[in-house]
Amino acid sequence: MSVRCRFAPSPTGPLHIGGVRTALYNYLFARKQGGAFILRIEDTDVARSRVEFERDILTGLHWLGLEWDEGPEVAGLAARGAYGPYRQMERLALYREAAERLLEGDLAYPCYCSPEQLDADRKAQEAARQPPHYVGRCARLSAQERRAREAEGIKAVVRFRVGAERVAFDDLVRGHVEIDTRTMGGDLIILRSDGSPLYHFTVAVDDAQMAITHVVRGEEHLSNTPKHILLFRALGADIPTFAHLPLILNPDRTKMSKRKSQTALSAYREEGFVREALVNYLALLGWSSGTEEELFRLEELVERFDLDRVQSGGAVFDRERLEWMNGQWIRRLSQEEFLARMTPFLVRHLERRTSAGERVRQPEEAELRALVPLVQERLPVLAAIGELVDFLFLERVAVEPGQLVPKRWDQRTTLEALEAARGVIRDEIGPVTFEADELEPPLRRLAEERGWKAGDLFMAIRVAVTGRTATPPLFDTLVALGRERTLERLDRATDVLAGAAAPTQ
């Protein structure tokens, strides 16, 4: 039988990094096995589910390149797949029908206990240091008793009978697992009093109906797996193979959460993490290829992936390592690709500067292209492009007199150097060509003639024209700036320095 596995997120929040990892492992496993990867939206929590979250999930998966074979929407097309619909709220009839069957077979029963009663039970159990469980008040009601309650207008939930036994299964990640059903909290509610289905029930009904062969999901579902197995059995369905993935952890080793970590995929995307890095990093968080290579693209991961090699202990999400890997993938992008991905980040940065009241010049395609070799290897995240090169597009850069003077120099020397450098650039460099190669020799010569360290001269110029001490290579920077702007900024810096000097002299 060919492999079918699914990613089943609920749209109660933006696509979570942990969900991405689960989706990725499902995808890798399905592709590796030549099986199907199915996306199912678990939106039965009406109170918390929102369409924009569903959109965020679909967008995120598309962006990562984790395309699904069946699901609510495929690559912008309408839903597709023979086991649809793929949104649970569109599958209510299926659940109702399945519940009906269980009721008929007395594998489930209506329960009339009020939430208040259940709450009181739970409190009592807690006080008696008992594990919380349903006491079974409605488990053996006679037909008349049920009718009486119905007559009172009490809306019943439907409970699934959980018999006493040890349920065992062989988890692909954890091996043999056995759980006593008596520790699971008693008979399970599968339908709310309004008739809507609950998670454990929908999972079993859907996985059965969608012919899922492998359930690959987070470890938080491990203890609940017997419930699903019992339900599969009651439904007369085959029991899929399970693989429970280790949790992704906060730095304090608790389950990764919004409170303590940045969990939304979209947030990483907005910071300029590239899909290659996110996929690569997450693949290696809990799985390893067994070799010492660690930079893999999606297709390479598919070739190598194996659930056997999934780690069983939880893994702390290490942003530093992600950033390193992101830099690796940014550098591996083709120039065209890099340009296309980086530009929106620069544009956005400049827009922000504009709204902050600064005068900004719009970058031209050609000058951005020229910038690529200078910046591509300097970005840990794409969003860093703004800070790196915005001085090229700002009408005025703020130059601090303090920064302008190199460590070994004083104000006088700096002033002299900037004026001299300006002269050299104005007189010796052709306005037409103005290339990095022709800038360097005369400026080095200048430093030598005056007995300055070239580095000091260059630093003074750098700060003068960019307002920063860390920039792309100086001569390329001057070229990017252009002759006119370079001269202008040297002038202005000289004024700033002279102005700062004046009061003290």
Partner RNA sequence: GCCCCCAUCGUCUAGAGGCCUAGGACGCCACCCUUUCAAGGUGGAGAUCAGGGGUUCGAAUCCCCUUGGGGGCACCA
Give the C-alpha separation, 61 to 68, whole Å.
9
Please identify, using beta-carbon distances, which residue of 287 and 393 lies nearer to RNA: 287
In the complex, the smallest distance separating the C-beta of residue 348 from RNA, rounded to whole angstroms, is: 21
Give the C-alpha separation, 45 to 417, whole Å.
69
Contact between 23 and 38 under an 8 Å Cβ cutoff? The reply is: no
Give the C-alpha separation, 468 to 385, whole Å.
14
Please identify, using beta-carbon distances, which residue of 79 and 92 lies nearer to RNA: 92
Closest CA to 28 of 277, 302, 241: 302
In the complex, the smallest distance separating the C-beta of residue 183 from RNA, rounded to whole angstroms, is: 4
Token couple for 79: 């839903």
Report which DSSP code applies to 251.
Answer: T
In the complex, the smallest distance separating the C-beta of residue 160 from RNA, rounded to whole angstroms, is: 11
In the complex, the smallest distance separating the C-beta of residue 57 from RNA, rounded to whole angstroms, is: 11
The CA radius of gyration of the chain, in Å to the nearest whole number, is 32
DSSP structure string for 5-48: EEE---SSSSPBHHHHHHHHHHHHHHHHTT-EEEE-B----TTT
Give the C-alpha separation, 157 to 396, whole Å.
69
Q: How many CB atoms lie within 10 A of CB 268?
A: 23
In the complex, the smallest distance separating the C-beta of residue 26 from RNA, rounded to whole angstroms, is: 15
Please identify, using beta-carbon distances, which residue of 51 and 356 lies nearer to RNA: 51
| Omega of the bond leading into 115 within 30 degrees of 0 (cis) | no
Active site amino acids = 258
Contact between 264 and 270 under an 8 Å Cβ cutoff? The reply is: no
Please identify, using beta-carbon distances, which residue of 44 and 414 lies nearer to RNA: 44
In the complex, the smallest distance separating the C-beta of residue 159 from RNA, rounded to whole angstroms, is: 9
Please identify, using beta-carbon distances, which residue of 271 and 498 lies nearer to RNA: 271
Give the C-alpha separation, 415 to 20, whole Å.
56
Please identify, using beta-carbon distances, which residue of 151 and 501 lies nearer to RNA: 151
With tokens 């999934």, the residue in question is: 310
Q: How many CB atoms lie within 10 A of CB 291?
A: 7
Give the C-alpha separation, 425 to 423, whole Å.
5
Residues counted in the chain? 505
